[in-house]
Structure 1
């Protein structure tokens, strides 16, 4: 039987208490936070982040840390949340923390592992996400993994006095074509 949490380069892991201090460093990077969320950027302590994790609704949110297989280094996090079990829908969020770790395929691999998990383990019919229009690298990863544009919330995000669109993207289970080989 294959390990649904393990890919060629990364694995989806249980968050460890010591991880949250490292993630706190990522939240001190304004560019990281501003690409991750539409909320105002603000640093968060490791304690704040760990408390948020402890308060997750375990019935509707599945949150994992992304770790490198070769050295167990923390790379990022991925979550399926706001799961609507009746309609088999979920929302996805993903982030690779350190800029040096981006562009190496870790995000694509983690996204594909999480989509495989969502469609095959959680039996979701569709996974949706929102992405800020200026986050072109994330959009490319999502499109490469099969997500399609479903709508635009025009000028929904305000950054540096400018109004930016927020794209809504979705992927149906039957359209998911994994981009990685599962172990």
Structure 2
């Protein structure tokens, strides 16, 4: 990644459905998903998206590069996931930037207290990104690592950064 990267999130619209169908049916891009469907259809995605969740298209320079979601919302907690759909943007660090924006939405805009994620243990890049953003491993089960980040960890991170700047 060169320079400052600005990933923006926007709500999904009907115009995104065909792109999402393409992304979710890409076996390489979805190989680490916990519960992949054999074939994603426009109808399936229309029904699933925005039902008790916050779903977004991630953009880079106004170009769609991925999908991300906050779901399983209960008692000010939520689960998050991302998918880098655009093949040209995989492996370039954009996933971590998407996660950063998604956490910002979860904690600052939706006022959640905890975020969880379930990551395939083979997805080293994703695990690294979650760790960089303050997520801690809770447990491993069936080849997936359950991670958690509390809203207070943002304050903790700021305190650490502040203490280093005083040295």
- Identify the TM-score tier after normalising by the shorter chain: 0.7 to 0.9
After TM superposition, give the deviation of residue 40 of structure 1 in Å.
Answer: 4.4
1:27 aligned to which of 2, 16, 24: 24
The alignment's C-alpha RMSD in Å is 2.0
User: Which residue number corresponds to residue 45 of structure 1?
Assistant: 41
TM-score, with normalisation over the residues of structure 2? 0.82
User: Which residue number corresponds to residue 127 of structure 1?
Assistant: 115
- Structure 1 outlier segments of 4+, above 6 Å: none
Instruction: Give 1 or 2: higher helix fraction.
Output: 2
Contact 2:9/2:57 (8 A) holds in 1: yes
Counterparts in 2 of 1:144-155, with a 5 A limit? 144-153=132-141
TM-score, with normalisation over the residues of structure 1? 0.75
Unaligned residue ranges in structure 2 (runs of 5+): 159-167
1:115 aligned to which of 103, 106, 121: 103
Higher relative contact order (CA 8 A, sep 6+): 1
Counterparts in 2 of 1:67-86, with a 5 A limit? 67-68=59-60, 70=61, 72-85=62-75
Question: Could you give the per-residue CA deviations for residues 83-112 of structure 1, whole angstroms, max 9, x where no partner exists?
Answer: 113xx2111111111232122332222211
Contact 2:64/2:86 (8 A) holds in 1: no
Unaligned residue ranges in structure 1 (runs of 5+): 1-6, 157-164, 179-183
